[in-house]
Structures are given as structure tokens and as C-alpha cells.
Amino acid sequence: MAMLLGNKWEDGDTGQESMLGAHLKVCPQGFTCCTEQMEEKLSQQSHSDLKAPVSQLSSNLQSTFTQKHRHFDQFFRELLENAERSLHNMFVRTYGYMYVKNAELFQHFFRELKRYYAAGSSAVDLEAMLANFWADLLERMFRLVNVQYEFSDEYMECVSQHTEQLRPFGDVPRKLRLQLTRAFVAARTFTRGLALLPEVVAKVSTVGATPGCARAAMKMLYCPYCSGQVALRPCQNYCLNVLRGCLANQADLDSEWNNFL
């Protein structure tokens, strides 16, 4: 028996002859060739055999979700970079020096969008940021269009306070606010979900086997060894029933997991 199971068993783990199994705690207590020490080692081995594939699957899932998070995050950041670059190039061609002189306003706008994507409303109040952007843009455009005049800060403050009534940009600010809010909330929700998934998978996979699961796995996998039936393998239905019992806690999460995905 010890030779069949490899070098994991030391001398004294197995009896040289079959014996009554009154000392066994899990396997049938008829005639057996397993000592109490060997049964304990087999029990530990069955626990490891159950844990190994779950750990491997967990590792694969964590790696998959980590990669998907990295790819989406990179994709969304590249979208922002491309949008900023395209807008800059178009405005340089269209407005030339007049735009270049005020380009930092748009650079700040995109920096704030990136900060909002990275940290959310705790870092940037998106609605307030957009309102400030349009107010600053209005002031700069007003001065550029009326370059022959000098305006006091009080006058410009008055203009800013009446922006909603004047609506110098039409419905564009409202539409942009709605589009950005929808896009960034969705992107942040998705990327945060992907970032959390590896941690969720890791925690679920560390749920320990119950005593009942350990006993059932031991009976299925290694008790035949103690009766000399080394080549005996459990049938598929038996194996599935044991695994269903062992993974009952994880199975309870199946519907919620599918809904989340």
C-alpha cells in the first residue's frame, strides 16, 4: 500500500496485514490495511485534492479579470488622450494663435476629466467643473470678441451670473454634461467592477471545506485504498454529488454572480 501511494507514507502508516478497522474514523470499520495515522494522512490528501482545482480555477479567473481591467482602463484613457489631441489639432487649424493662447483652459478641462475617471466625485465635482469651464470660456471669448474694450472684473462677474439667461453656447453645455456624466459613470462603474472581481474570486475560493465535505471527499477518493481497491474510481454521479455538497456555499452565489457579469 505504501509503495502504491508513493513516498508520502512512512513506515508504520500501513499494516503489514489486514486488520479490523475499529480505529478508523471515516472509512468503513471492516477489515482494512490502513492504520489510524494513514487514514489521517489520506484525509489531509483528499482535502488538498479538493482545494487544488478550485485554487487553480480561482487563479485563472483572477488573472483574466485583472487583464480585462488593465485593457479597458488603457482603452478608456487612450480615448481621452485621442479626444484631447484631436480637439487640439482641430482648434489650432481653425483658430490658430487665438486658441493657442487659451489652450491651457482645454488642457485643464481634460486633466479634470482624467481625475474624475480615476477617483470620481471625491476628487472632482463634474457638474461644477463643467460649469466653471463654460464660465471661463465665455469670459475669454467675450474679451476676444470685444478686444477693443476694457471690462472690469465686476462687469465680467455680471456677465457670468447671467450665463443661463444669455445662453451664449445654446444647448451645448447641457448636452455635453449629460453625455459626459453617462459615459464616465458607466466607465467608472465598469472598471471598478473589473478591479474588484479578482478580490471577490479570491475570497470565495478560500471558503474552507466543511467537516461533512471533508468526510465525503475522503470516502470517495481514498477509503477504497484502505480496503485494497486501489484501482477503484468513483462513478460520475457520485463524484458530482460530493462536489455539489462541497461547493454548496459557492453555488448559492451563482445567480448573483451571473447577474453581476
> pTM value?
0.72
Contact 160, 135 (CB under 8 A): yes
Nearest in space to 51 (alpha carbons), one of 110, 29, 43: 43
The set of cell numbers assigned to 77 is 484613457
Those residues with Cβ within 8 angstroms of residue 249's Cβ, 6 or more apart along the chain or in another chain: 207
Is a pLDDT exceeding 90 seen at residue 184?
yes
Read off the pLDDT of residues 163-183 as tens digits, 9 standing for 90 and up. Answer: 778 788 899 999 999 999 999
Give pLDDT, residue 120: 92
Query: At 103, is the secondary structure helix, strand, or coil?
Result: helix
Angle at which helix 36-95 crosses helix 172-205, to 10 degrees, equals 170
Contact 105, 88 (CB under 8 A): no
> Which residue would you say has higher pLDDT here, 184 or 145?
184
The set of cell numbers assigned to 237 is 454521479
Read off the pLDDT of residues 94-136 as tens digits, 9 standing for 90 and up. Answer: 999 999 999 999 999 999 999 999 999 999 999 999 999 998 9
What Rg value do the Cα atoms of the chain yield, rounded?
34
Distance, in Å, from the CA atom of 25 to the CA atom of 104, rounded to the nearest integer, reads 76
Query: At 160, is the secondary structure helix, strand, or coil?
Result: helix
Contact 135, 203 (CB under 8 A): no
Give pLDDT, residue 40: 87
Give pLDDT, residue 204: 78
Give pLDDT, residue 17: 57
Distance, in Å, from the CA atom of 223 to the CA atom of 215, rounded to the nearest integer, reads 10
